[in-house]
Structure 1
Amino acid sequence: MAGVERDGGCLCGAVRFKVSGAPQRVGICHCQDCRRASGSFFTPFGVWPISAYEGSGEMKIFARRSFCPQCGSHIAWLRDNEAEIMLGSLDMAPSDLIPEYELWVPRRENWLMALPWAEQFAGDRFPPSDP
Structure 2
Amino acid sequence: MRIRTGSCLCGAVAYRVEGEPLRTGLCHCADCRKSSGSAFTFFAVWPRQAFSHNGEIATFAGRSFCPVCGGRLFCLRDDEAEVRLGSLDTPPTDFAPSYEVWIKRREPWLHPLPDAGQFAEDAN
Letter of the 1:118 counterpart: A
Letter of the 1:13 counterpart: G
Runs of 4+ in 1 over 3 A off after TM superposition: none
Equivalent pairs: percent with the same residue? 56
Number of the residue aligned with 1:7:
5
Number of the residue aligned with 1:125:
123
Alpha-carbon separation, structure 1, partners of 2:83 and 2:106 = 21
Match of 1:74 among 49, 72, 75: 72
Displacement of 1:54 after TM fit?
A: 1.0
TM-score (norm. length: structure 2): 0.99
Letter of the 2:95 counterpart: L
Letter of the 2:90 counterpart: M
Alpha-carbon separation, structure 2, partners of 1:36 and 1:9 = 20
Letter of the 1:4 counterpart: R
Unaligned runs of 5+ in 1: 127-131
Say how many residue pairs are matched. Answer: 124
Match of 1:96 among 94, 97, 102: 94
Unaligned runs of 5+ in 2: none
Displacement of 1:106 after TM fit?
A: 1.0
